[in-house]
């Protein structure tokens, strides 16, 4: 099979791991996404993953409720580690060698982030999951995905969400919302569209890193993107 992308960054929000639940992790969905990642892996694609923690704890929401922002963000980083370990377990049960790499040192659970070691894991045929964001408060996991994508020399960031692309309004709340097939970085920033935060978009813009926003719950979408099919919304320099 011809593939368009050889090395990818897959960004998963914590919310998608909830499945139909209101909190936590839906094991059946995690198994399903792990199975699809395995299919992509078996095509010879090198896969990095950054995972959020919003299904457990969101730092910015904790801050809004009076918690110190720095403490809240660190709590959110720990939530991403829980999700990373959960996804690692699901992948390894399907015989996909996986490494969790944390931006915050916790040697009993995950490897510390060392760029050259992470690249070597990819070259040796291991899926790597980056946890704990960038390791710094005030930065989102979207920014972490952009940063790690650059460092790993990924060819594309694939952001898996609950909707099938980028809309001008929230499609969950407004049926008249319009979906974009493609956007430039400048359009995303100027229109303040909910793709990634401005820091992440600016980093991608400065390094010409394309972003594809797609519905990760629809089985087969990751494979379709790898093959070069038009799925979701692509954000690039146009």
Contacts of 81 (CB under 8 A, 6+ apart): 53, 100, 102, 104, 106, 109, 110, 131, 132
Question: Can you list the domains of the chain with their CATH numbers?
Answer: 7-236 (3.40.1160.10)
- pLDDT per position as a tens digit, 81-108: 999 999 999 999 999 999 999 999 999 9
pTM (two decimals)? 0.93
Which percentage of the chain shows pLDDT scores above 90? Answer: 77
The pLDDT tens digits of the residues spanning 3-19 come to 999 999 999 998 888 88
Give the single-character DSSP code of 152: T
In this structure, the number of other CB atoms found within 10 A of the CB of residue 114 comes to 10
């Amino acid at each position: 099979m011809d593939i368009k992308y050889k090395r990818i960054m897959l960004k998963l929000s914590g919310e998608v791991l909830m499945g139909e639940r209101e909190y936590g992790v839906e094991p059946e969905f995690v198994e399903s996404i792990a199975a699809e990642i395995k299919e992509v892996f078996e095509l010879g694609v090198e896969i990095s993953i950054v995972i959020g923690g919003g299904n457990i704890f969101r730092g910015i929401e904790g801050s809004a409720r009076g918690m110190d922002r720095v403490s809240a963000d660190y709590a959110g980083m720990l939530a991403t580690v829980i999700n990373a370990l959960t996804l690692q377990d699901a992948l390894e049960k399907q015989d996909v060698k996986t490494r969790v790499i944390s931006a915050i040192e916790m040697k009993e659970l995950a490897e510390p982030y060392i760029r050259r070691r992470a690249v070597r894991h990819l070259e040796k045929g291991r899926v790597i999951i980056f946890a704990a964001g960038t390791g710094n408060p005030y930065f989102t996991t979207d920014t972490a995905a952009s940063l790690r994508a650059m460092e790993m020399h990924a060819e594309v960031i694939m952001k898996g969400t609950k909707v099938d692309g980028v809309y001008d309004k929230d499609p969950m709340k407004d049926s008249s919302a319009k979906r974009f097939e493609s956007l430039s970085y400048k359009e995303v920033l100027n229109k303040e569209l909910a793709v990634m935060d401005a820091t992440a978009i600016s980093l991608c813009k400065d390094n010409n890193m394309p972003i594809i926003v797609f519905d990760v719950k629809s089985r087969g979408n990751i494979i379709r993107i790898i093959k070069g099919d038009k799925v979701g919304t692509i954000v690039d320099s146009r």
